[in-house]
Amino acid sequence: QLQLQESGPGLVKPSETLSLTCTLSGGSISGNIYYWGCVRQPPGKGLEWIGSIDSSGNTYYSPTLKSRVTISVDASRNQFSLKLSSVTAADTAVYYCARLTITGTSRGYFDSWGQGTLVTVSS
Amino acid sequence: DIVMTQSPDSLAVSLGERATINCKSSQSVLYSSDNKNYLAWYQQKPGQPPKLLINWASIRESGVPDRFSGSGSGTDFTLTISSLQAEDVAVYYCQQYYGVPQTFGQGTKVEI
C-alpha cells in the first residue's frame, strides 16, 4: 500500500524559502499514470493545490503561486520536493504530499495523501 | 479559474438520517468528448488528510461504504450520505479536475 511521508522544517522565517520533501514507500514514483503533487491547507481553512510533477520531471503549478514554486523529482530516492520562496505569514499551512491519477494535462484527482506537516512562517 | 461553491457550509444530521451536500461549479465540468464529469468528493476527519470518496462524480472508491453516493452533471452535484453514522462526522470537499488549475470547494462540515 502506497504511503507518502512529508518532511521538512516546521518553522520558516518570513522572506525565506520553505522546503518540503515527500518520500514514497510501498510504491514507485516512476511510471506515467500518476502525477505527484502538493496541496496546502491554512489552519481552519480549505484546500489549495500548489503544483504537480510527473516522473519525467514535467511540472505544473498553480498560477497564483507559480512565481514562487519549484517542484522537483528524484526517482532514485523515490522522492519529490517542494520549494516555496519569499514566504509570508499567509503561507502558514499544513502542507500535504499527494498522488494524482492523471485525467488530463496537469490535472487529476488526489487518490493518496500523506499525513501532512504544519509549516509556520514566523520570525 | 473554475470556482466551486458548496452548500450548506455546515449541517447537523441525526444518526441514521440522510445528509445532502451540494456543490456548484462556475462552469460545466462535463467533458463532451467522453461524457464524463470531472468531479471528485473527499472526506476529511479532524487531524487527518483528506480521503478520496468518489471520482467522476458518482464512482465510489474501493472500500467506501455504499451509504455514500454522488450524483449530478454539468455544474450541479450532490454528495448524499444515506444513513449518517457517527464515523461520518467530517468536512467534505468537492474538487473539479476539468479546468486548470484544479480547484476545491470551501468545504461542508457535517455534525451530529
Q: B102 near A108, Cβ under 8 Å?
A: yes
**Closest chain B residue by Cα to residue A103:** B97
Q: How much is the average pLDDT of B18-40?
A: 96
pLDDT of residue A123: 94
Q: How much is the average pLDDT of B32-61?
A: 97
CA dist B112 and B12 (Å) reads: 5
| Distance to chain A for B26, nearest Cα, Å | 17
| Distance to chain B for A77, nearest Cα, Å | 24
Closest CA to B80 of B90, B68, B88: B68
- Confidence band for A77, pLDDT divided at 50, 70 and 90: very high
pLDDT of residue B21: 98
pLDDT in tens, B54-75: 999 999 999 999 999 999 999 9
Total residues found in chain A within this entry: 123
Contact list in A for residue B103 (CB cut-off 8 A) is 49
Q: Strand runs (DSSP E) across chain A, as ranges? A: 3-7, 11-12, 18-25, 34-41, 48-53, 59-61, 69-74, 79-84, 93-104, 107-113, 117-121
Is A32 a residue whose pLDDT tops 90? no
Cis peptide before B65 (omega within 30 of 0): no
- Confidence band for B51, pLDDT divided at 50, 70 and 90: very high
Is A104 a residue whose pLDDT tops 90? no
pLDDT of residue B58: 98
pLDDT of residue A100: 95
pLDDT of residue A105: 85
The beta-carbon neighbor of A109 closest among B55, B99, B103 is B55
Q: Is A91 helix (H, G, I), strand (E, B) or coil?
A: helix
pLDDT of residue A31: 79
Grid cell, residue B53, equals 470518496
With an 8 Å Cβ cutoff, are A113 and B50 in contact? yes
